[in-house]
Structure 1
Amino acid sequence: MSKKWLVRYSEIFLKSDPVRRQWERVLMNNIRQVMPDLKIQSERGRIWLNGDVRPDLLKNIFGIVSFSEVEHVPHEESLEDSLIEYCRSHGIEQAKTFALRIKRVGRHGFSSNDKAIELGDVVRKAFPHLKVNLAAPDKEIHVEIRQDECYLYDTVIKGVGGLPLGVEGTLVALVSGGIDSPVAAWMMMKRGCRIVPIFVALDTFLDETVLARAKRVVEVLRKYQPDIQLRVIHDPYLAAAKKELIRNRQEKYTCLFCKRRMYRIAEKVAQEVGAKGIVNGESLGQVASQTLDNLVVLSDAATIPVYRPLIGFDKADAIVLAREIGTYDESTSRATGCKAVPKGPSTKAHLTEILEMERNMEATKMPLPVG
């Protein structure tokens, strides 16, 4: 017997053969990016790894549902003898109950159930103290028979799932460093989107603690997208716009003007990098700028799609996922808030009014900054 690793995927399997093969290649390249010395092979529904596999890296690669270290039994070897050797070396003698899980691929003169009964009798003969318990066994042994080859394993490690990173293209992510925006970016990563995160530094209103937090959060996301780089864009627009809003007694619209500007900056970056849209952490009704009325005003500022994967989440939902993916601790680390937020922000702005205000503001004529 020899050891190798079995990698499983799910949604890729459902695609047409040309798409499946293409996405398999993307997934294998993503594996090579973090473990370049592995030998990788594929067949329909499975990817095989030989070499120094690191499970801690493998479990964060999008597209992988689960994986196992397996013992390969070539067709010329006895499956029964190999199974007994495997059971003995993997602690079955300490168990009281066991179950065999059989999976077959290819044409055989037996059913999976037939083979389970046959091999189960072999195991019980070798270890007479064992009893079969299919519902909740102390020890579970998997036997995968693929044509004339067999594979034995006793552990299934859960992967992150989703689609291989990059198969759906690229999105620009507005990242603040708080709880929601990195979770939203991660959700789109899981659906196959490579992320270009940007942080719009609002001169005079955000200090270095906020930027430092955003950088730390993006570093957490690096374990899911190794080449991720935060782009920091400094923009003096809001300082000029806020002065005009205060002078015109329209300060309640500050956040809307700010976020419309961010949308435009994100769209410019998207044009530069060939991204197909913008993703952010907006959730319906969570703050004043995220009411249905105000989201209409914000969406108007972009001519490319704006994706809001958290739109139906409440804060507790986002926190659960932030903890799961590892961004929560950094997102809740100490940082000052935005000093531009007005005391009474507008919750029901009208697009026609906002557009008229922008036409009359000198600040609106300021060029978009270069990232």
Structure 2
Amino acid sequence: MGIFNTVICRYNEIATKGNNRSMFENRLVENIKIACSSVCSVKISRIRGRIFFHKDDKSVFSDAETEGLTENLKRCFGLDSFSFCLEDEPNMEKIKEMVRNSAPYYFDPLIREKGKIRFRSRARRSDKSFPLQSKEIEIEIASLIDTLYTQEQIAVDLTEPDISIGIEVRETTALVYYATIRGPGGLPVGSNPPLLALLSGGIDSPVACHMMMKRGSHVDFLTFHSFPYTPMESVEKVARLAKVINQWQKPGRLFSCNISEIQKLIRDNCTPKFRTVLYRRMMMRIAGMICDKYNLAALVTGEAAGQVASQTIENMSVIDRSTEKLILRPLCGMDKNETIQRAVEIGTFDISIEPMADSCTVFAPDSPVLHAKLHTAEWEESRIPDLDAALQATFEKIEIVPC
């Protein structure tokens, strides 16, 4: 049975913003509303650095609603933390009544489990006209708990309590809560320009997508395949990854591009050791064309410096020069273990490690170039007949895949 009728949402980084702070707050409010919409209809208000919401009829959240809201809010970028609260009038008797009615839900199970538990109360008073100061409110609540339980059952511990009772007193309302749930932090999705991520079936690129969402950008996805040289199941695998990542944002589109004709032209006309770098340059050009068509601001890749042959600093520099679009590489300074840990946390790792052929391995040379020069790469490309027409033909065949 639920007991909470309000949720308080806190943010951190947004509070450091200047004149455009309201834009970030408005975006966060909109994203919270979207996160709640699949669970219940809510009314949201914003008061002095806090965001509050309750159900339209102000009734308590059911256990199922509490569970659903918790799951969704944990994926709402921009939220630093949130708490389910009891809300009532801002006077001491009402606050005590809320604590008296709710404390047993938290204290009794722990006392049965541990025998004796430690607790504390923490008050925040934004209404300075309230007759008691924060410390006095804390003492009043601790004294109330002392009347509900014996000394053999409870003890005050201000540093490492089993239960912390939170109280917020504002001009028009008072709130009581018992748990602070961590949010994902960062900036709300949509507060920065939208991006296009090159999403493969590997471990790295899904993590890169997640990291750029955390910086406030909505992300669409582009995957390359080389059918019939790679199976169409590779696209299905990427679609499953995109579905997981889309849980953190309003769902992004997945573009699917068959690059095999371009790869054959590179195979037939260029020096073998340059194939991988040239593949990547062509991918960036096609990605740039999608950005222009759909008004996406920049590209995202899962590349990390020195991880594979195409990701040496020299090769990445040559790849960058293939497009005027900014290429963001959020994993560039991370090692593989750090990336794997992130992949596990966001739920993409198990899908990523499923074996599947990658388009970059098609016609791959045994000894790819490690330190490509721009003028050499451009000369190699000049040997490809009607390259611009081939790129346009490939671009026109791009499909949007459900995810």
TM-score where L is the length of structure 2? 0.86
Q: Using the alignment, how far apart are the partners of 1:34 and 1:152 within structure 2?
A: 23
Moved more, 184-193 or 38-47: 38-47
Residue in structure 2 matched with residue 85 of structure 1 by the alignment: 101
- Counterpart of 1:242 in structure 2: which amino acid? R
Work out which of the residue numbers 157, 161, 168 in structure 1 matches 2:181: 157
1:251 Cα deviation after fit:
0.4
Out of 161, 166, 171, the position equivalent to 2:190 is 166
- SS of 1:78's equivalent in the other structure is helix
Are 1:74 and 2:74 matched, yes or no?
no
- Residue 19 of structure 1 corresponds to 20
Gaps of 5+ in 2: 56-64, 399-403
- Equivalent of residue 140 in structure 1, options 150, 159, 164: 164
Q: Distance in 2 between matches of 1:139 and 1:97?
A: 7
CA positional deviation for 1:363: 5.6
- Is contact 1:34-1:226 (8 Å) kept? no
Contact 1:205 1:340 in 2 (8 A): no
Distance 2:161 2:233 in 1: 52
Residue aligned with 1:272, SS:
helix
Which range moves more in the overlay, 208-217 or 179-188? Answer: 208-217
Superimposed CA distance per residue, residues 206-233 of structure 1 (whole angstroms, 9 cap, x where no aligned partner) = 2223212111110111211232221112
Residue type at the aligned position of 1:78: K
Taking the aligned partners of 1:290 and 1:363, their CA distance within structure 2 comes to: 28
Alignment partner of 1:346 out of 345, 369, 373: 369
Give the CA deviation at 1:44: 2.3
Q: Does 1:38 align with 2:42?
A: yes
Give me the CA root mean square deviation. 1.9
| Alignment deviations for residues 154-211 of structure 1 (CA, whole Å, 9 cap, x no partner) | 1111111111101101011011121011110110000000101011223444222321
Q: How far apart in 2 are the matches of 1:334 and 1:212?
A: 13
The CA distance in 2 between the partners of 1:200 and 1:363, in whole Å, is 21
Q: Describe the SS at the equivalent of 1:223.
A: helix
TM-score for both structures, normalised by structure 1: 0.93
Greater alpha carbon shift after TM alignment, 33-42 vs 207-216? 33-42
Question: Contact (CA 8 Å) 1:209, 1:336: kept in 2 or not?
Answer: no
Match of 2:149 among 127, 130, 139: 127
For residues 1-371 of structure 1, what are the structure 2 equivalents within 5 Å? 3-16=5-18, 18-36=19-37, 37-51=41-55, 52=65, 54-75=69-90, 77-92=93-108, 94=111, 95-108=116-129, 109-129=131-151, 130-235=154-259, 236-245=261-270, 250-337=271-358, 338-362=361-385, 364-365=387-388, 366-368=390-392, 369-370=395-396, 371=398
**Separation in 2, partners of 1:143, 1:367:** 62
Q: Which amino acid in 1 is paired with 2:193?
A: G
Residue type at the aligned position of 2:30: N
Residues 302-333 of structure 1 deviation map (CA, whole Å, 9 limit, x = unaligned): 10211000001111111000001111111111
Identity %: 28
Structure 2 CA distance for aligned equivalents of residues 104 and 363 of structure 1: 71
Q: 2:58 maps to what in 1?
A: none
Distance 1:112 1:320, change over 3 A: same
Contact 2:6 2:54 in 1 (8 A): yes
Structure 1, 292-301 or 37-46: larger mean CA deviation: 37-46
Structure 1 residue ranges without an equivalent (≥5): none
Distance in 2, matches of 1:104 and 1:50, equals: 21
On the 8 A contact 1:170/1:193 being kept in 2, the answer is yes
SS of 1:91 mapped into structure 2:
helix
* Cα drift, residue 20 of structure 1: 2.2
- The CA distance in 1 between the partners of 2:94 and 2:209, in whole Å, is 49
Aligned residues: 366
Conservation of the 8 A alpha-carbon contact between 1:237 and 1:363: no
Which residue of the partner structure matches residue 62 of structure 2? Answer: none
Q: Runs of 4 or more off by more than 4 Å in structure 1?
A: none
